[in-house]
């Protein structure tokens, strides 16, 4: 699987060290936590859980399939499903508060 070509059209996602990562910035700490909760709901539904780091007004999402030691189709599917709450669209608060209809 050519990861770089699969994420080429994704806004600011980086493939490095067998993972896909993006840092999302928010206007407040709580808006970042709200975003994290939406990522957590989708991840739980898909039974595929990213590594998530929370900092002041920033949330870092790292996707990899740990038992395979690299990015797999599960990671790509999580990215594609995440489009409805901001994985691909933007990190602006007004766009990340949209609720995923499939959750």
27 contacts 97 by C-beta, under 8 angstroms: no
pTM summary value: 0.75
Degrees (nearest 5) of the Cα angle 19, 21, 23? Answer: 165
Give the residue with greater pLDDT, 4 vs 48: 48
Crossing angle of the two packed helices 73-81 and 29-46, in degrees rounded to 10: 130
Domain range 3-96, CATH architecture:
2-Layer Sandwich (3.30)
Kindly state the percentage of the chain with pLDDT values over 70. Answer: 70
- 31-45 pLDDT, tens per residue? 999 989 988 888 898
Domain ranges of the chain: 3-96
């Amino acid at each position: 699987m050519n990861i770089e070509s699969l994420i080429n059209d994704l806004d600011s996602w980086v493939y490095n060290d067998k993972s896909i990562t993006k840092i999302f910035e928010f206007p407040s700490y709580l808006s970042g936590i709200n975003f994290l909760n939406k990522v957590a709901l989708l991840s739980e539904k898909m039974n595929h859980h990213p590594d998530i780091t929370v900092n002041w007004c920033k949330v870092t999402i790292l996707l990899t399939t740990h038992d395979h030691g690299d990015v797999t189709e599960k990671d790509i599917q999580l990215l594609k499903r995440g489009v409805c709450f901001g994985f691909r669209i933007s990190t602006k608060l007004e766009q990340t508060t949209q609720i995923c209809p499939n959750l």
